[in-house]
Amino acid sequence: DVVMTQSPLSLPVTLGQPASISCRSSQSLVHSDGNTYLSWFQQRPGQSPRRLIYKVSNWDSGVPDRFSGSGSGTDFTLKISRVEAEDVGVYYCMQATHWPWTFGQGTRVEI
């Protein structure tokens, strides 16, 4: 199975400041169809997960543009340009290129 490794696992942030989470996969996430199926999910306390980004850098509906995704191959990054209070929670990267789909361990973002 593809192992997804996130860092850091805990990220203290300051409101209004930028934040960044790294995700590395154990093998390339480039699919034979040419797409890279790397997503980012947010899980706020007590809530179901919500996808923020799909295919590395594409926003899901309703996602604020302060979130951005980048990367290629095996190295990916989620950036928050200016952290807001509602961004507190756990963030997961996920690969859907290889079966079974797998998540990273999660990064806890706290103010």
Partner 1 sequence: DVELVESGGGLVQPGGSLRLSCVVSGFTFSSYWMSWVRQAPGKGLEYVATIKVDGSEKYYVDSVKGRFTISRDNAKNSLYLQLNSLRVEDTALYYCATAVRGSRFDYWGQGALVTVSS
Q: Which residues bind partner 1 (CB under 8 A)?
A: 1, 35, 37, 39, 41, 43, 48-51, 54-55, 58-61, 90, 92, 94, 96, 99-106
Comparison of 88 and 101: residue with beta carbon closer to partner 1? 101
Tokens of 99: 């079966």
Q: Nearest distance from residue 107's CB to partner 1, in Å?
A: 10
Kindly report the number of other CB atoms within 10 A of residue 79's CB atom.
Answer: 13
| Cα-based distances in Å from 19 to 27, 28, 34, 81 | 25, 25, 29, 7
Comparison of 24 and 55: residue with beta carbon closer to partner 1? 55
Comparison of 32 and 48: residue with beta carbon closer to partner 1? 48
Comparison of 20 and 60: residue with beta carbon closer to partner 1? 60
Rounded-to-integer distance, Cα 63 and Cα 28, Å: 26
Rounded-to-integer distance, Cα 101 and Cα 15, Å: 33
